[in-house]
Amino acid sequence: MKKRSIKNSVKAKYMLGMVVDAIGSGMYLPLSLLYFHHVTGLSLTRVGAIMTTAAVISLVSNPVAGVLIDRFGARTVVVGGYLLRAAGFCVYPLVDNGGVMFAAVLVVAFGDMAYPPSIQSFVAEIVRGRERDELLAAQRSLRNAGLGAGGLLAGAVLALDSDTAYHVIVLGAAAGYLAAAACMRSIPTARDGAPAGPRTTRAGGYRLVVRNRPFLALSLLNIPTAFGYMVLSVSLPVYLTQELDAADSLVGVLYAVNTAGIALLQIPVTRALVRFRRTRAVSAGAGIFALSFLVYAALSTLSDHTVLLVGVFGATALFTVGELLHGATASALVAGAAPEETRGRHMAVYQLSWAVPIALAPAVLTALLSVSATGMWLLLAAGVTVSAVGALALERRLPEAAVHPLAPKEPDTAKPSGEPLREERDEGLVR
């Protein structure tokens, strides 16, 4: 009973940190371009170029974060990243030109880039098995709700129509990061009872990740899916308004449908999925992404407005289902597949399969749209289909505890990375 109480306390602190982080981020993210345009007077094009440049340069912090995680623990890097971003946001009200803006944005970008591998490694440290899937599902659900709440708060503040309102928003986001850092710092980990100082890790560094062929394949297979995730924010708005002559307001409605679906359904869906192999849930999610892209492609052949609307909402519903199956489960699969001693480096490599597509998606997807909208959707569908088939092909080469949420223990990290670790399990337990 005491052990369960401690676990519940850890989860509660973690989720509280996620909520205050998301609310702060939700206040600022929709207004990032507008904020610097407003306070500096720079054109939106120049502001966008500065922010993109900082994001690309910050990619170097990803492998550095992996080393720091393995040396000092994921919690230390998570907290450090929050503090770095809070410091950057506190400088934002002082920005008055492009040079100062670039310096401040770069600091925040370094913190942003270090966050994904550190937070996923941290989750892997504090929960295991099906609890990992459930915590990641709760995280996705509450983060969506928190981002929405933050957006509403920002709207209320901006209704005051003053320069002070913009500064309140960025300082509110900084306060959210500080509160999240305090929550995460209070969560105990296995390192708390260990001797002070950096941890000794297995020699080899990133060469171990390269030699871990199944994990490397899993990361590469995520690239088409990462591009697929970007369609709601990049491709779909342009496709609907330019190719299908739909109203601009429809874009916001579809985004709200997707966000609400994740917020409301991610937890129950993930709880149901723990009976199945993670690789199969991930594959099913990618397959449904492909189906949604095919439906989007078919919309260009429709002329009836009512049928078109039904098709748009149907495709978006399919996309949301794909996210529900893929999102939290894929994170748990990857965290389980990374050997504990070098988990930070492994997670940093995996996160590059998200970071690079996210950075390239605006340019790549808009270029494909300009050539052929239908061709873009078909190419995306083909890419995620490869990801779906590849996840199934890797099933027997990944660690048993990564594939099966109900596996009795984590993989033996003393075994060489990349070797097949799992044996056949009773088909009646996990399908």
Check residue 286 and give its pLDDT: 96
Running along the chain, 431 residues long, what does each successive block of 10 average in pLDDT?
Answer: 62 84 77 77 82 84 86 90 93 89 90 86 80 79 76 71 78 90 85 53 71 92 94 84 81 80 88 90 96 95 87 94 93 88 88 86 85 94 97 92 70 39 33 34
In whole angstroms, what is the distance from residue 264 CA to residue 332 CA?
Answer: 20
Q: What beta strand segments (E) does 141-287 contain?
A: none
Check residue 280 and give its pLDDT: 95
Check residue 65 and give its pLDDT: 87
Q: Determine whether 161 is exposed, middle or buried from the number of CB atoms within 10 Å of its CB (0-12, 13-18, 19+).
A: exposed
Contact between 311 and 299 (Cβ < 8 Å): yes
In whole angstroms, what is the distance from residue 63 CA to residue 117 CA?
Answer: 9
Given CA atoms 40, 41, 46, 47 in this order, what sign does their dihedral have?
A: positive
